[in-house]
């Protein structure tokens, strides 16, 4: 790697400076005051050294120790989102992390995590748009590691609460059909509502939120419900088998005798909700037409290939 330097002379009153790492010093020997601008840049050659891999020894040691204490397998998330869109990177297509490398890999590859770190309040109505990417003083992201537990996907449900009322329940994996969930719909709804009233309604401080629950059917006479996580009541949270317009309209109704409970009743095959995140972004831009320049480059490349 070679360090190069360019020197520019510009009027001192000029507000336009060359881009790059610049050092500016005034030159008082001219009749018209000038500034000498030194712009430094680095040129990489074939002989350049390999960039150093970032290392976090203390952080890695803490994460590895926590994984060991939690049984060797963990589910990673920030205090807001989990990197569900990056689960395809691990071998079993889940977020079952067995090492620091697994945790680091899914966090680094996740768009959900990038959003929480760079623009966590993007959808908040009281947050100024002009300050969208500015650091927030009181915002402290935290890495949360949970002991891994194998859960049946047909037993996970999301409950939507508005003004402390349970207004809607949706099957958590809304892109899949589960016959068992459809068959036991009434008993599941009863158990979830009972758990909410007994363990959440008077204890959780917020009035509006979404909460994920796990219904575990143990036998014909025994079952139990476990709390998984809380989410915000709004656009950052997936509304699953509802739309947010529906949920907002439900929340304005004075009397809701019982929550609206939905499970997937169509056995047809549907695409995985997170499949798009395992496709290269360039391919998505070309397919959707969101970036015309990439489409033009693609067409040009095809024409050149056909002319060979």
Average of pLDDT values for 206-220?
89
- Asked if residue 61 belongs to a domain, the reply is yes
Residue written as tokens 């047809």? 268
240 and 288 both lie in a single domain: no
Of residues 82, 77, 84, 94, the one with CA closest to residue 143: 77
The fraction of the chain above a pLDDT of 90, given in percent, is 46
User: What pLDDT was estimated at residue 20?
Assistant: 41
Question: d(Cα 155, Cα 132) in Å, to the nearest integer?
Answer: 37
Burial code of 71-86, b = ≥16 C-beta within 10 A, e = fewer?
eebbbbbbebbbbbbb
What was the pLDDT predicted at 130? 63
E strand map for the chain: 2-11, 21-27, 34-43, 74-78, 143-147, 156-162, 165-171, 209-217, 223-231, 260-262
Per-residue pLDDT of 75-109, as tens digits, reads 999 988 999 999 988 878 899 999 999 999 999 99
- Tell me: pLDDT of 66 over 90: yes
From 240, 218, 220, select the one nearest 231 (Cα to Cα): 240
- Quick one: pLDDT at residue 93? 83
pLDDT score at 294: 63
Residues contacting 212, CB < 8 A, separation 6+: 156, 157, 158, 159, 172, 227, 228, 229, 230, 231
- CA atoms of 17 and 162, how far apart (whole Å): 53
Residue 169: partners with Cβ closer than 8 Å, 6 or more residues away = 157, 158, 159, 160, 189, 192, 259, 260, 261, 262
Looking at the fold, whether 135 and 216 belong to one and the same domain comes out as no
Q: Are residues 192 and 119 in the same domain?
A: no
Check if the beta carbon of residue 242 is closer than 8 Å to that of residue 168: yes
Q: Is the pLDDT of residue 49 over 50?
A: yes
Structural domain includes residue 86: yes
Q: According to the model, what pLDDT value does residue 119 have?
A: 80
Q: What is the pLDDT of residue 35?
A: 52
The 10s digit of each residue's pLDDT in 223-272 is 899 999 999 999 889 999 999 999 998 876 666 678 999 999 988 866 66
Contact call for residues 192 and 225 (beta carbons, < 8 A): yes
Looking at the fold, whether 79 and 62 belong to one and the same domain comes out as yes
Q: Which residue has the higher pLDDT, 230 or 39?
A: 230
* Sheet architecture: strand order including 34-43: 2-11, 34-43, 21-27
The average confidence (pLDDT) of the chain is 79
Give CA–CA dist 1/48, Å, rounded: 5
Strand, helix or coil for residue 213: strand
146-184, pLDDT tens digit by residue? 999 999 999 999 999 999 999 999 999 988 899 989 999
* CA 101 – CA 67 distance, rounded (Å): 11
Q: Which tokens go with 9?
A: 């002379």
In a domain, 49, yes or no: no
- The whole-number pLDDT of residue 238 equals 92
Number of domains in the chain: 4
Q: Which of 58-67, 111-120, 140-149 has the lowest mean pLDDT?
A: 111-120
Whether residue 48 lies inside any domain: the answer is no
Residues 37 and 137 in one domain: no
What was the pLDDT predicted at 121? 78
Q: For 111, list phi and psi in degrees, rounded to 5.
A: -70, -35
Please compute the mean of the pLDDT values over residues 211-228 and round it to a whole number.
87
Same domain, 32 and 114: no
Give the structural domain span for 195. Answer: 153-262
Assess whether 157 and 182 both reside in one domain: yes
CB atoms within 10 A of CB 242: 19
- Give, as one character, the DSSP assignment of residue 76: E
Residue 268 lies in a domain: no
Q: Are residues 125 and 162 in the same domain?
A: no
């Amino acid at each position: 790697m070679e360090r190069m330097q360019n020197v520019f002379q510009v009027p001192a009153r000029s507000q336009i400076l060359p881009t790059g790492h610049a050092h500016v010093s005034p030159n008082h020997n001219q009749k018209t005051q000038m500034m000498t601008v030194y712009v430094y840049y680095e040129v990489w050659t074939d002989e350049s050294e390999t960039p150093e891999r970032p290392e976090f020894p203390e952080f890695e040691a803490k994460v590895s120790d926590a994984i060991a204490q939690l049984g060797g397998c963990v589910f990673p998330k920030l205090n807001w989102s989990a990197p569900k869109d990056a689960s395809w990177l691990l071998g079993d297509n889940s977020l079952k992390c067995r090492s620091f490398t697994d945790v680091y890999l899914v966090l680094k590859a996740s768009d959900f995590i990038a959003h929480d770190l760079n623009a966590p309040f993007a959808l908040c109505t009281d947050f100024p748009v002009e300050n969208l990417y500015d650091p927030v003083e009181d915002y402290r992201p935290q890495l949360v590691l949970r002991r891994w537990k194998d859960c049946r996907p047909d037993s996970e449900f999301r409950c939507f609460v508005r003004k402390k009322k349970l207004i809607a329940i949706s099957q958590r994996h809304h892109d899949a059909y589960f016959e068992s969930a459809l068959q036991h719909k009434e008993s599941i709804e009863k158990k979830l509502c009972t758990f909410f009233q007994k363990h959440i309604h008077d204890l959780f401080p917020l009035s509006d939120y979404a909460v994920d629950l796990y219904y575990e059917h143990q036998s014909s006479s025994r079952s139990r419900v476990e709390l998984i996580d809380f989410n915000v009541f709004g656009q950052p949270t997936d509304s699953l088998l509802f739309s947010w317009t529906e949920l907002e309209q439900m929340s304005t109704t004075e009397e809701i005798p019982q929550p609206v409970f939905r499970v997937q009743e169509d056995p047809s095959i549907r695409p995985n909700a997170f499949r798009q995140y395992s496709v290269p972004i360039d391919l998505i831009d070309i397919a959707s037409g969101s970036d015309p320049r990439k489409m033009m480059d693609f067409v040009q490349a095809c024409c050149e290939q056909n002319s060979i």
